[in-house]
Structure 1
């Protein structure tokens, strides 16, 4: 699926929230929503849908990455198989030539009898030596032919299996793509059922919840004092800052749009270090660091399943691609429930003379939260 559906859902969020803020200023009440649900309950439901969408997106991203690797393996095996078959063809040609030579030069006399009857025994000995070398060449050619045939058969079987695996992954990718589409349709359906006043109240509750979570997180002492990034971390962070304002799009890795892990993986790739594509793999494979030792460029992971990720900016803030309908922006680190942090270059020293990147205008505008405020930030 393209990002058009995502952008439609996100545009509905943004437009409706703005309209709600204009049409329902002052204190909004927790008016009953669809099917009698209160606005707080609607917020929980909406955030749950967004979270499920991102979980589905990360599953899709993981399968897409595996599918890319499987395509590469299939192509490599097919290339090796083509070479093996060409070599086998050459070996068969050589074997045929030797067979014809052997037939044309066949004789009922053994080399010993030919030696006794020869006018020049030395010449006969030389001929025998040549015949032995030819015989050895024949044996080697036959062995080479047999090895080539076995290799071609093995490669053909491997190539068939690789292609089967590729087709299985492609089918899984299609199902996961459909899963994302269906969840986004659920978001659109819920948004379409809300009034402008309800949407304005949702925005207020969401912002208040994020601010409260950030205050508690900072008060816990989890955040570090100022630490300079590594050279690579600085490059990754500055790349992320340069993407501020670009839209979120599920499965996107730039340059025009990103999802959460697309942003972080591309930022570190720009810094010269390849890291896994998905947030779950980033959490599992990169070295974890205590939240009290965060430095700019580190990755902050969110939710128990590590389904969301941002890049630490410093001063308790992250650069992230929050959710469908939002844009890459600067957010409080605790805008979503924090799981932990990882560092792509743990052995690198902090750089000297570090200056934080200059943020563009509007870098903090828009919704900060992702997909649920029901989990307390970890310390």
Structure 2
């Protein structure tokens, strides 16, 4: 572990301990007066300690966001695998019905041969009273033999297909089970990270929580100002397409709704749930997770972005928002927050991608 990270965690742990001490009830002292000595109000945390709390909370919620992406990816894979298993099951049923029919036809052919006595063609020719009639019949027999051979070949292929379908279905079941475990592990990590963040926040006094909120706003404003100062928006003049306008309209209509990990609306959203549903409302299907949106959608330069484009944040592509113009974006930030508008440069930008391109 790098020294900086170790120091940050140590500082956060120190803050937790300090907050625990500050939140403990005051000590009562004996007094000759019947009126008890009032306990002093807890002292506010120093700015540096509160900043350490802010950074630790940011780390916990970012880890929860990454785990949420893993959860969503596992869920999406499970849905696809389940659909494939259903299709394979249909093929197996259809293949078995076809095989049963072919077996019945083969049995009928075998019974017909048995009724003819099963004599070789030479013996039947010698015993026949009408050689010409026999030869005509022999031609039909030859055709029947060819048909029987084709029938046997079709039965073999159908049997092989059934074995392949069964093998594929078994493989998909194994993948589905692995995905279920990955989904459960991601859910456990999400809950752990969010619980740790909520526990840390719960130990803060009301005044410190208010100061913490201001620190978060100041950090976001500082990042946004630095981003704008680069002149990045000087050449941004792209206009939204009709689909982009619909997506923006949907996303901004969700402002005020709570964040919910794994949620795709209509009551709550996580970050990629909001962007994927917004574009779905515009008639364009896009990947469910922020990482897949980053991997699969067309990338565009920041200078070329237009309303409706998606902004992918952080090196691990763990967060996504929708650009709405004028340097602003709409997103579902994190647990205990609501869908809101913020500065597009308030977080580290990894890439800008364009649905429907």
Tell me the distance in 2 between the aligned counterparts of 1:336 and 1:181.
Answer: 24
Which deviates further from its counterpart, 328-337 or 312-321? 328-337
1:70·1:166 contact (CA, 8 Å) conserved in 2?
Answer: yes
2:56 is paired with a residue whose SS is helix
Q: CA RMSD in A?
A: 1.8
Aligned to 1:267: 278
Task: Kindly state the Cα deviation for residue 45 of structure 1 after the two structures are TM-superposed.
Answer: 0.8
Please report how far the alpha carbon of residue 73 of structure 1 lies from its aligned counterpart in structure 2 after TM superposition: 1.5
Alignment of 1:245 onto 2:256: yes
TM-score (norm 2): 0.83
Q: CA deviation at 1:113?
A: 4.5
**Deviation string for 1:164-210 (max 9, x for gaps)?**
11111111111111111111111121112111111111011111111
Correspondence for 2:70 among 44, 59, 63 = 59
Shift of 1:300: 0.8
Query: CA shift at 1:131, angstroms?
Result: 1.6
Q: Matched residues in 1 for 2:246 and 2:118: separation?
A: 79
Kindly provide the CA deviation profile for residues 240-263 of structure 1, in whole angstroms up to 9, marking residues without a partner as x.
112222211001111221110111
Q: Which runs of 4+ in 1 moved over 4 A?
A: none
Residues 301-323 of structure 1: CA distance to partner in whole angstroms, max 9, x if unpaired? 11111111110010110011111
**Equivalent residue for 2:214?**
204
Alignment of 1:81 onto 2:92 = yes
**Unmatched 5+ residue regions in structure 1?**
1-28, 347-379
Task: Look up the match of 1:15.
Answer: none
Q: Matched residue of 1:49: which SS?
A: helix
Deviation at 1:345, TM superposition (A): 3.3
Q: Residues 113-262 of structure 1: matches in 2 within 5 Å?
A: 113-223=123-233, 224-262=235-273
Cα deviation 1:258-302 (Å, max 9, x = unaligned): 110111111112212211111111112212111122211111111
Once the two structures are superposed, residues 1-42 of structure 1 have per-residue CA deviations (whole angstroms, 9 ceiling, x without a partner) of xxxxxxxxxxxxxxxxxxxxxxxxxxxx96159xxx711111
Q: Is the 8 A contact 2:237 2:304 kept in 1?
A: no
Preserved CA contact (<8 Å) 1:299 1:343: yes
- Once the two structures are overlaid, the 10-residue window that deviates more, 126-135 or 180-189, is 126-135
Shift of 1:54: 0.6
- What does the per-residue CA deviation read over 1:330-350, in whole Å, with 9 as the maximum and x for residues that have no partner? 11112222222111234xxxx
Say which one has the larger Rg: 2
How far apart, in 2, do the equivalents of 1:295 and 1:154 lie?
48
Partner SS for 2:101: helix
1:309 corresponds, among 300, 320, 334, to 320
The answer on whether the counterparts of 1:30 and 1:40 sit within 8 Å (CA) in structure 2 is no
1:323 counterpart SS class: coil
Does the CA-based 8 Å contact 2:89-2:169 persist in structure 1? yes
CA distance in 2, matches of 1:285, 1:310: 16
Mapped pair 1:31 → 2:41? no
Partner in structure 2 of residue 14 of structure 1: none
| Higher relative contact order structure (alpha carbons within 8 Å, sequence separation ≥ 6) | 1
2: distance between equivalents of 1:111 and 1:227?
A: 84
Classify the secondary structure of the residue corresponding to 1:228: coil
